[in-house]
Chains A and B, each alone.
Chain A
Amino acid sequence: MNPRLIGGEMPVWSDLDGRRGPGPTRGSALVPLLAAATGRTLIAGPHDPALIDAAPADDLTLLVRGVPDAEALTARYADRPGVTVCCGGLEKLDLKPPYDTVVALDGLARLSSVEGAQLAWGEAFELLVAALRPGGTLLLAVENFLGLHRLVALPSEETDSDWVAVGEHDQTRPAGLARVRDRLGSAGLYVARTYAAYPAPTAPTALLGAEILADEGLRGFLEATLGAACRPVENVLTDPGRLAISALRHGAADELAPAWLMLAQRDGTGPVQRAAGGDLPEAVVATGPEGYDIRWHPADGWIRSRHGLAEVEALPRGRTLEDLLIGGCLGRDLSAVRELLRAWQAGPVAGVPADQVIVASDGSLAALVPAGEPEAALRDLAATVIGGGFAHPWPAPADETDLALTLAAMAGREPDPAALATLAVRAGDDGNRPDARSRPDARAFRELAIARNRLVRELAEARAKMLWYEQMLTSRENSLKRSQRIIELLSGSGPARAGMALVGGIRVARRTARAVVRRVRPRT
């Protein structure tokens, strides 16, 4: 089988290899969405083959623009006769017969070839909608140009794939979640589900539905999830995790999501379909090694099921331990802080980072991730407190290790200083090391400014203290030198003769010596 060259194919171009652009849309969090595709399906744009594997292959059309990509996909699916690989521009694709499902989780920006028409967002969108049969399902990703990933980004280098990058200036492209919904609605699409996708459009690891985002009781879980999803992996203006948590607090996590993934159904005249996406999870999380789906259960509330496992567990409700601890610190409620630290460090979750521990209303603690070393968890909390620029209550901790020791003491624990020292060396200044958790101050300019300001202050204080020590030292030296000279002047050797002559003979000297002894001897 050969790829079908439909016109506009690019002979030496690949979106899948990631060398000329951001690489294909990818990540295990997207697997459940692809798996929900049904019937005759079109996957348009660069999607990681691991995702394509999840889609039903009975009647599957893949559209890419680079010939090497098309050849690689053809080879991969050589033994699946239902798969057709098309190579070229979207405008050349034969849209008949219409599709039951159209997948465009890479968005619409990489569907045009250099050789053919440069489709505006609206034009590509209309072509894809036109490819759907009435009642068919569209899976569409829309990057949010006001998304958190862009708010924290430094100016980016242009890549080879930006030969036309109209971006925000594309008048046909709806900007903002409400306008995107409206645009889909006016195209005759019913939006069945919207996921806020974090931390980046091309490789999201957390997909969160609107209902779960609106559940205040899950605040802790959601903060833990987005905090973990948004750890910085490159230089940024400010820690994206902190900003994501703040967005959650303000009910803006969907508005500020880096992308929205929409599942929409085209109205039709055919037989009434099962509500599109009815069996899709409300959220998909793949921030750690194990991914899981979240669904609503009438009896148990929100439950999560690990991918590939049958068992389910209820999501813990409450706030994160880190949130409560920092709140306590800022409010100077140190007795509450001590209580939380004690509860945390005395139990089985001692080794779980504080931002991954949920405190229920009854005070019980639930871990979202497996436990590591308690020393590491304490040190991470200290790093967050210092690096986050919080007005914490502890006077001038020397560093994260020093504060971690204080926190351990407040928790009533005897930490292993050697273990802490090892962690300090491991964390170092190098956030790039794979075994170190990303530090919020490693690559974020706001956090760098915080660290810089703190160091300037600490240095000024250290200098002031040094001046004071200098004063104390000199006053002691003054006394010591004076006493030594007096002793030399009055003792029986060396310059003493001069001293005795000065004061007028031995008898006077004896009297003087007695006076000196009275004065030199410390007063009781």
Chain B
Amino acid sequence: MHRANHYYGHSHVLARYCGLDERDPPRIHGYLQHGWNIGDGLAADHEFVAGTPVLLWSERTRRRSWSLGRRHTYVVGSPWAYLLRMEPDLGAVERREGTIWYPFHGWEGQHVVGDHDGLIATIKQTEPGPVTICLYWQEYQSRWLRRRYERAGFRVICHGYRGGWWENLDPRFLYRQLEEQRRHVRVASNRLSTAIFYGTLAGCEPAVYGDPMHLERENSTFGAQLRIRRQWAELHDERVDPVLAREIAVAELGADRLISPAEMRQLFRWPNPFQEPYLDDRDLLEEVIR
């Protein structure tokens, strides 16, 4: 399977949903959409083998994917929506407080260019309560950047690694994100993004405002930022209609189209009959020593 299926512990969450050992998810026979997407559901830079099923989050993305030539497409919904179904109470607090704010992030291949000080001023001006800034791990590693947000009086966190081939896999990523979001009243960002939809589905009031910044060599194949502003204009404001926002988040994350564990096992070709059972650390070491 494609390594992107492991990003953010997606396959781990779904293995648990299917009743399999979540510590060692089997290969998914398909390409699982790994983020909210305005194209065909696949990341532009990922190699694609013809005939591989494309497992998508939403019906809208499926239609778009089909129109762009993809055929073996199937809507399964987002891992996030499954996690929320399995964890109705994780991170729930008596009283939600403040805003979790996601500055637009780059990724391993492209960095973000923009005026962080200007953004900090906008956030301070807008947010009524305490602010938690959540950085992507790359930006979080920049002590300089972290300090800038901290000096503004914000709490700065990171949900964890996205994960690579087999390295830095982070099965708890989404769990940490859910715990954090359920502590906050609002979720905000300078770009409409996966985290905004996640937060909305987790019960936060969303907001999108401030300098959207830009990526190095930003690709505007699918219309990019301007198209997102046009198509989801109602989500771009300091205050948006929470009911409408929730409706959109449900659709974009496929929370209305989740499939049963049995159907998922069949679709993913799970379990892999050739896979060895996962041993506890102790058992593994004892077996090695023996």
Contacts and interface: CB of A to CB of B under 8 A. Distances in A.
B211 interface: no
Interface in B168-186: none
B272 A489 contact: no
B224 interface: no
A399 to B, nearest CB: 16
B274 A515 contact: no
A92 B208 CA distance: 94
A486 interface: yes
B217 to A, nearest CB: 33
B223 to A, nearest CB: 35
A210 B288 CA distance: 87
B284 interface: yes
Contacts of B281: 485, 489, 495, 498-499, 502
B139 interface: no
A481 B24 contact: yes
A486 B282 CA distance: 10
Nearest to B282: A502
A115 interface: no
Interface string B251-290: 0000000000000000000001011100001101100110
Contacts of A484: 166
Interface stretch (A335-343, A383-391, A468-476): A468-476
Interface string A475-513: 101101110111001100001001100110000000010
Contacts of B282: 502
By size class, the interface of chain B is 10 to 19
A519 interface: yes
Contacts of B272: 470, 474
B275 A474 contact: yes
A516 interface: yes
A503 B285 contact: yes
Contacts of A486: 284-285, 288
A499 B283 CA distance: 11
Contacts of A470: 272, 274
Given A503-B285, A519-B288, A474 B274 contact: yes
Contact of A475 (B166, B274, B284, B288): B274
B239 to A, nearest CB: 44
A515 B288 contact: yes
Contacts of A482: 276, 284
Contacts of A515: 288-289
Contacts of A471: 274
Contacts of B276: 478, 482
B85 to A, nearest CB: 29
B284 A478 contact: no
Contacts of A495: 281
Contact of A502 (B166, B274, B275, B285): B285
A512 B285 CA distance: 8
A480 B27 CA distance: 15
A498 B284 CA distance: 13
Nearest to A511: B289
Contacts of A477: 275
A519 B287 CA distance: 11
Contacts of B24: 481
A-B pairs, top 5 by smallest CB distance, nearest first, are: A474-B274, A478-B276, A471-B274, A502-B282, A516-B288
8 contacts: A475-B274, A486-B284, A486-B285, A489-B281, A495-B281, A512-B285, A515-B289, A516-B288
